[in-house]
């Protein structure tokens, strides 16, 4: 298992980690298989979406904050109940197929670490199998 370190700089932020994951896939030597990414945090997530236009990630952040506002009479008193809820809506793991020693992402797809309670030092766990 490999661990990718990420430093977020805002409370809500989508960070493109595609290049980091691609390098780990290359290094693994796996020609055809599956890549598994796991976020060991409860106020963050991981998603795959368009990486070409940064407006897409900003729209996602804005909509999530509309649906799950920072202040909303929550029971959890640490001021980040919204961050926990966003984490469960987005999810903390993704799988991506590997083809010819590369991520089989679609043309417009990138992999984003989703920070919902930054800035913080974070990590993503990486596993890959040949299959």
Of 127, 120, 128, 92, the closest CA to residue 5 belongs to 120
Do residues 11 and 106 touch, judged by C-beta distance below 8 A?
no
Nearer to a copy of itself, 11 or 28 (CB): 28
Quote the least distance from Cβ 26 to a copy of itself, whole Å: 18
E strand spans, the chain: 2-7, 13-16, 33-38, 44-50, 93-99, 102-103, 109-115, 121-130
Q: Rule CB under 8 A: choose which of 27, 32, 79, 102 binds a copy of itself.
A: 32
Which stretch in 4-12, 19-27, 49-57 sits in contact with a copy of itself by CB under 8 A? 49-57
Quote the least distance from Cβ 11 to a copy of itself, whole Å: 17
Which stretch in 5-13, 17-25, 67-75 sits in contact with a copy of itself by CB under 8 A? 67-75
Of 55, 56, 40, 50, the closest CA to residue 105 belongs to 50
99 binding a copy of itself? (CB under 8 A): yes
């Amino acid at each position: 298992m490999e661990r990718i370190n990420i430093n977020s700089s805002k409370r809500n932020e989508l960070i493109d980690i595609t290049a980091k994951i691609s390098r780990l896939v290359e290094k693994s030597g796996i020609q055809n298989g599956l890549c598994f990414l796991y976020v060991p945090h409860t106020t963050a997530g991981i998603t795959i979406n368009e990486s070409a236009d940064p407006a897409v990630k900003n729209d996602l952040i804005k909509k999530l904050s509309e649906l799950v506002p920072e202040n909303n009479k929550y029971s959890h008193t640490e001021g980040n109940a919204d961050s926990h809820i966003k984490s469960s809506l987005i999810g903390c793991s993704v799988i991506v197929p590997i083809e010819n020693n590369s991520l089989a992402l679609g043309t417009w797809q990138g992999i984003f670490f989703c920070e919902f309670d930054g800035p913080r030092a974070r990590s993503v766990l990486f596993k890959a199998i040949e299959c």
